[in-house]
């Protein structure tokens, strides 16, 4: 199995995420919704809220969601499995980006706007990697997810050929329609040419 190493890497990542409690929090998605809700029309607010609710539900599973996606992948639901794994790691990826950004901003002082700094501090407070397991697990699961591809050699459904080989067809003597060799009449023009 060509994806075996990526499956194992993703599985280890999911287990480490579970051990390290690297799971999403609904508070982050509520924060996002509150941040953008002033810019969204009232008609779209229920849709955006529902989408964020689904994402937060999947992200809240963390490592469990990653393992569920991996099981779907192994059951040959390749695309769905990879999507579920992506949702399971999404909160961890955002957390890693926030951690890196927070420390870069604090070390370099490149952002001085107090509003932006307050938002960054607030977002940073919503994430916690209590141990290195959650952090490492998220990285391993993401790398494994990137490596997971649809296995080569999986037969794809081939469309029926438009025209059959010459030995398997005959032509209507009236309109020229291509018909199966055993046809007794033309379904295009109705000419009866069966054996009498």
What's the length of the chain? 196
Task: List the domain boundaries for the chain.
Answer: 4-147, 160-196
152 vs 67, which has greater pLDDT?
Answer: 67
Rounded Cα distance between 49 and 31, Å, is 11
**pTM for this prediction:** 0.60
pLDDT tens per residue across span 57-115: 777 777 888 899 999 998 988 889 998 888 888 777 777 788 888 889 988 888 888 88
Phi/psi at 151 (nearest 5 deg)? -60, 145
pLDDT tens per residue across span 134-151: 778 888 888 888 888 877
Dihedral sign, Cα of residue 93, residue 95, residue 98, residue 104: negative
């Amino acid at each position: 199995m060509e994806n075996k190493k990526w499956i194992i890497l993703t599985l280890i990542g999911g287990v480490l995420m579970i051990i390290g409690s690297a799971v999403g929090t609904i508070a982050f998605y509520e924060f996002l919704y509150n941040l953008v809700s002033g810019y969204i029309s009232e008609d779209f607010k229920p849709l955006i809220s529902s989408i964020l609710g689904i994402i937060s539900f999947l992200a809240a599973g963390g490592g469990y969601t990653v393992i569920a996606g991996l099981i779907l992948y192994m059951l040959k639901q390749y695309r769905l499995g990879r999507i579920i794994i992506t949702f399971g790691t999404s909160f961890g990826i955002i957390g890693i980006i926030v951690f890196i950004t927070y420390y870069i901003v604090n070390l370099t002082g490149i952002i001085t706007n107090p509003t932006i700094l307050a938002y960054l501090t607030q977002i940073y407070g919503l994430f916690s990697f209590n141990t290195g397991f959650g952090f490492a697990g998220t990285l391993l699961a993401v790398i494994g997810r990137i490596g997971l591809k649809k296995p080569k050699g999986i037969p794809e459904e081939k469309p029926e050929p438009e025209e059959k080989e010459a030995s398997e067809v005959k032509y209507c003597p009236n309109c020229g329609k291509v018909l199966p060799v055993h046809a007794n009449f033309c379904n295009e023009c109705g000419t009866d040419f069966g054996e009498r």
